[in-house]
Structure 1
């Protein structure tokens, strides 16, 4: 009878339910989200307060406080993964 509680990470990312993740993935695929791709297998998308980053099939979805925070995080990830050399 052990509870399934995971230890807290240093970067706390609010986990999405499977339904939220499916909804986000479907809306990204349908083109509802702001999305960018690079030649290096990186996909970055933002929809509302969610930011999705996929690098070489390793997907991470972050739920931010609001759309403004999500926009700022999207810009950070874009600079880091899509335009790392400032181009």
Structure 2
């Protein structure tokens, strides 16, 4: 999970995404966008993870490991 932001035509664009690592790259699977600058909200993080859980199919005993940047430390997501 990662977040990026940039300014386009005077507006801030923020993208929060979940991706899969493949051959040294990250391929975005799901994302959320917002018109704001700064860290994303816990609600946006929770919503994105909830959508991911609905989308992914796991077999019993199968695990997924989430890695994220420092800004997500302490978030109860």
* TM-score (ref. length: structure 1): 0.29
What TM-score results when the alignment is normalised by the length of structure 2?
A: 0.32
Structure with more of its chain in helix, by fraction? 1
Which has the bigger relative contact order, CA under 8 A and spacing at least 6?
Answer: 2
